[in-house]
Chain A
Amino acid sequence: MLSRYGLRFAALSYLTLLLVLPVAMVFRRAFENGVGAAWDAVTTPEAKHAFLITIVIALIAVPANTIFGIACAIAIVRHRFPGKGVVNAIVDLPLALSPIVVGLSFLLLFGTGGWFAGVPFEVLFALPAMVLATIFVSLPFVVREVVPVLREIGTEQEQAASTLGASSWQTFRRVTLPAIRWAVAYGVVLTTARALGEFGAVSVVSGRIVGKTDTLTLHVEERFQSFDYVGAYAASVVLALLAIATLVAMSVFKPKEGR
C-alpha cells in the first residue's frame, strides 16, 4: 500500500518538476507584463512571419513524410528486395543522428563545392533547405507507427480483396488504408510535433535571416538573445499551445491503447 503511494508520488513529482513546472514558468513569464504586452510581442511582423514559415514548413513536410512513410512501410513489410534490412535500419537514422549533424550535412551538400551546389535555385539559407531538414528529422514517425500494424493485420484481407476483383490500388484504398488509419493518424501527429518543434537542423541551414528564414523556434531564441524576454516567452507560449493541441490530437487518435 505504502509503496504504491510512494511510487505514485515519485512519478508525479518527477513529472511536475521536469515537465509541468518549466512550462508553467514560461506561461507566467510571458504574461508578467499583462496579456496585452504578450499579444503585442507575438503580433510583430517578425513573429507573424516566423509563425507563417513554421506552418508552411509543416504543411509541406508532414504530407510528404506521410505519403513516403506509408509507401516505405508497405515496402518494408510486404515486399522482398535486396537491401531491405538496410532500408529498415536507415529509416531510424534521423532518430539517432543529432539534428545539428543533419544541418551540417546539408551545408556540405548544397554549399560551395557540394554535390548539389549547382542547383539553379536558392536552397541554403532559404525555405527549400529548411523544408528538407525538417523532412529529414521527422521522417521515421509514420514508418515506425505503420510497420507493426501492417505486420499484425497480415496479408489475408488483401488477398481476399484481390480474389474479389480489386486492383492493387483499390485494395490499398479500401482494405489496407482503413486498417492502418489509426497508425497513420498517430504517426502524422508525431511528425507534426517534430516538424513544429525542430530547432537544430533548421537553425544551421536557414542562415537565420530575421523576417525571412526565421521559424517560431528560431524566433524564440533570437528574441531571447536580444533580451526581449516577453517576446521570447510569448512566442514560446504559441509553440507550447501548438504542442498541447498536438497532444490533444494524439490522445484522440490513441483510443485503442489500454482499453
Chain B
Amino acid sequence: MIEARSVTKQFGTFVALDDVSVEVPAGSLTALLGPSGSGKSTLLRIIAGLEQPDAGRVLIDGHDITSRPPQKRGVGFVFQHYAAFKHMTVWKNVAFGLEIRRRPRSEIKDRVTQLLELVQLGGLADRYPAQLSGGQRQRMALARALAVEPNVLLLDEPFGALDARVRKELRAWLRRLHDEVHVTTIFVTHDQEEAMDLADQIVVMSHGRIEQTGGARELYDNPANEFVMTFVGEVNQMGRSFVRPHDVEFGEGDEALVERVVHLGFEVRVELRLANGEELWAQVTREEAERLELVEGARVRVRPRHAKVFG
C-alpha cells in the first residue's frame, strides 16, 4: 500500500499540493485525474522521490520513505516523453537497472529477453530509441521500469504524447499487463475516459486538493461536488442544477427549441435552447430521436430525469 499523509508542496508562491492525503491499495491500478496544474504530477513525483514535499510524509507498505532518495524507493517511473536513454539500444535501456545492480550476466540476459517479449519488442533489441515509434518507445520505457521489479509502478501521463489510436491500444495493453504483473500502479492522466477505462480507483484532483476518490461508477453517479460532476463525464447546467445529457427527458416540463440534431451512429446528439435562453444538449438513441420526431426547428418539452444541486 502507498500512502501520502498531509503532503504539501509549493513552487515559489504557487501551491501545487495543499495538505493532500491519499491511500493506494496494494496491487491496485489507481488513476490521479485532474486538469493541468491540479498537482497530480507533483504528487506522483513526490511518491517517486523526484520532488521533496515541504510538509507531510510518504509511506510504502508502512515504511516512511519521505527522506529516502529515489534510488532506494523501489519505484519504477515512466515519463510522458519516455526519457529513453538515446545513446543506448533498446536492450541496453531495459538492462540499465539490472546492470547498475550488478546482476549476473545470464540473469540480465534472461530477464531482458523476457521483458522485451512481454512488451512485444523482441525483434527490436538492437534498435536505438530514435528508430522506434512513440508507442514502441513508451513500451520500452515500461519494460525498463519493470526490469528492476519495483514495488510500485508510477506513470506520468504515459500516453499523453501518443496519437488517439495508439493510446487506446496501449491502454488495453497496460490493463492486461497489470492483470499479469499485479504491481501496485499509479498513473497520472487528464483524460477522464482513460481513467475510467483503466483504473480500479480514481483520485480526482484540482488546485492541489483531492476532490473525490472512488471507482468510476461512484464518481459518475455520486459526484461529491460540482467540480467532479463537470470533470467526470458530460454535463448540462440548468439554473443551479446539473443534468447528464442522457438524463434529459422529453415530453413534459419546460418548452425548448431543437436547434441542431447530430447523428453519431447509434447515439444522437440533440442541441436545445430553453425559453429562458439557456442551452443544453441531450443524448438519445436513434430510435428515440425518430419516435420523438426530433428535427431542427421542432418545439419540444424537456425536464431532467435526475439532477444534482451542490451547496
* Interface set of A (CB-CB < 8 Å, partner B): 156-157, 159-167, 170, 174-175, 178-179
**Which residue of B71, B83, B144 is within 8 Å of A167 (Cβ)?**
B71
Interfacial chain B residues near A156, Cβ < 8 Å: 79, 81, 83
**Which residue of A163, A170, A175 is within 8 Å of B85 (Cβ)?**
A175
Residue B229 lies at the interface, judged by CB distance under 8 Å to chain A:
no
Interfacial chain A residues near B75, Cβ < 8 Å: 163
Contact (Cβ within 8 A) B100 A170: yes
**Which residue of B49, B71, B85 is within 8 Å of A157 (Cβ)?**
B85
Q: Which chain A residue shows the least CB distance to B144?
A: A164
Contact (Cβ within 8 A) A163 B101: no
Interfacial chain A residues near B48, Cβ < 8 Å: 163
Q: How far is the CB of A34 from chain B (nearest CB, A)?
A: 51
Q: Which chain B residue shows the least CB distance to A160?
A: B83
Task: Report the separation of the CA atoms of residues A163 and B87 in the bound assembly, to the nearest whole angstrom.
Answer: 18
Q: How far is the CB of B246 from chain A (nearest CB, A)?
A: 41
Contact (Cβ within 8 A) A162 B70: yes
Interface of A is mostly: helix
Give per-residue flags for B143-157: 1 if the beta carbon is below 8 A from chain A beta carbons, else 0.
011011000000000
Q: Which of B69, B84, B87 has the most CB of A within 10 A?
A: B87
Summed over the interface, the residue pairs from A and B with CB atoms below 8 Å come to a total of 60
Given contacts A162-B71, A164-B145, A179-B86, 8 further A-B contacts (CB under 8 A): A159-B50, A159-B77, A163-B75, A163-B77, A165-B71, A175-B85, A178-B87, A178-B88
Contact (Cβ within 8 A) B81 A166: no
**Which residue of A160, A162, A179 is within 8 Å of B79 (Cβ)?**
A160
Interfacial chain A residues near B245, Cβ < 8 Å: none
Q: Which chain A residue shows the least CB distance to B50?
A: A159
Q: Which of B81, B85, B148 has the most CB of A within 10 A?
A: B85
Contact (Cβ within 8 A) A159 B101: no
Contact (Cβ within 8 A) B50 A166: no
Contact (Cβ within 8 A) A159 B86: no
Contact (Cβ within 8 A) A161 B79: no
Contact (Cβ within 8 A) A163 B70: yes
Q: Which chain A residue shows the least CB distance to B156?
A: A156
Interfacial chain A residues near B83, Cβ < 8 Å: 156-157, 159-160
Task: Report the separation of the CA atoms of residues A165 and B70 in the bound assembly, to the nearest whole angstrom.
Answer: 7
Give per-residue flags for B52-91: 1 if the beta carbon is below 8 A from chain A beta carbons, else 0.
0000000000000000011101011101010111111000
Interfacial chain B residues near A179, Cβ < 8 Å: 86-87
Q: Which chain B residue shows the least CB distance to A175?
A: B85
Q: How far is the CB of B272 from chain A (nearest CB, A)?
A: 47
Q: Which chain B residue shows the least CB distance to A178?
A: B87
**Which residue of A159, A164, A167 is within 8 Å of B96 (Cβ)?**
A164
* Beta-carbon contacts under 8 Å, B118-145 to A: 141, 144-145
**With contact pairs A162-B70, A164-B96 given, residues A157 and B86 touching in the complex (Cβ less than 8 Å):** yes
Contact (Cβ within 8 A) A160 B77: yes
